[in-house]
Amino acid sequence: MNLNQLRYFVAVADNGSFTKAALQHYISQTAITQQIHALEEQIGAKLLDRNSRPVSLTPAGKVFLKEAREILSRMDAALVRTREASTGLEGELRLGYTKGYEHSDLPQHLRHFHLEYPNVLISCYRCDTDMLAAGLAAGDYDIIFTWDSTNLRQEENIQLQVVEHVPLRAALYASHPLARSSYLTRKDLKQENILFMSPSGNGDSFGDEFYIRLYQQAGYQPNILFRSNDMESILMMVAAEEGISIVPEYSHSWDVGTENVVFVPLSGEGETEEILMAWRKNDDNPALGHFIEKLQQK
């Protein structure tokens, strides 16, 4: 039994004629008759009453017609889904992002992509930057959005693209003397107790060194009371007036436990957080290509 035999049988049943079914499939009447005869022999039952005009179904044929239609429908659906998967229209995209970046425009980009490719499951993973870099290299993620804590630019098999430069803000408790400033520089924070927002999990990385250098270029070594890559903890401690911090602009949208926090723009060269989109050059997931293309169009 093969799919063509099923299609020929359905065509004869729909048309009530071997001749019309043969014309529909661009084969001879003799060929379609032989194929359906072979089908009946394999099933062990007559499916068509050839003596009636138009050709009609036997009781067994009526049962088999329903099953044949379902088989052909399932096969057509399987072919469509397979083609969609091969072109990235169906499948899974494993996306990692640095802690806090869920408050950026990333969710909006994911929603737009999902609306266009509803059969692609976007699995999201929130990690610190070190884990993201390691996971990308190990194949745990198809794409990541991250600060650069490990100098990903040195990895030959990793493709990078800068997504945005997020302005940095000084996070101060509301009663702080500098809380009403229009803007601040790192020099203004020389005497402050710093709650250091680290891009990495261990506080000792390429990204950490970059931001420490900005303090040093401002003429001092910061008095760091606490290091963390957990934005919630940093802002909660600022709200408790334990110190101040420097955080990316997208942290402004957080309102749980931060009623006592004021965000002041930070002025100066390099006072941004560079968000990178990174993926493996040899990743052949077709959904990845579609996702990158759509994001680049934005």
Mean pLDDT by 10 residues, the chain (298 residues): 86 88 87 87 87 86 88 83 67 91 90 89 91 92 89 88 92 95 96 90 76 93 92 91 93 64 92 93 90 85
pLDDT (0 to 100) of residue 280: 95
Separation in Å, CA 133 to CA 1, 5, 156, 280: 52, 53, 13, 11
Walk me through the domains of the chain, giving residue ranges and CATH numbers. Answer: 3-86 (1.10.10.10), 91-163+275-297 (3.40.190.10), 165-273 (3.40.190.10)
Separation in Å, CA 82 to CA 87, 169, 231, 269: 9, 48, 42, 50
Separation in Å, CA 116 to CA 216, 281, 290: 47, 24, 10
The secondary structure of residue 152, as a DSSP letter, is G
- The predicted model scores a pTM of 0.66
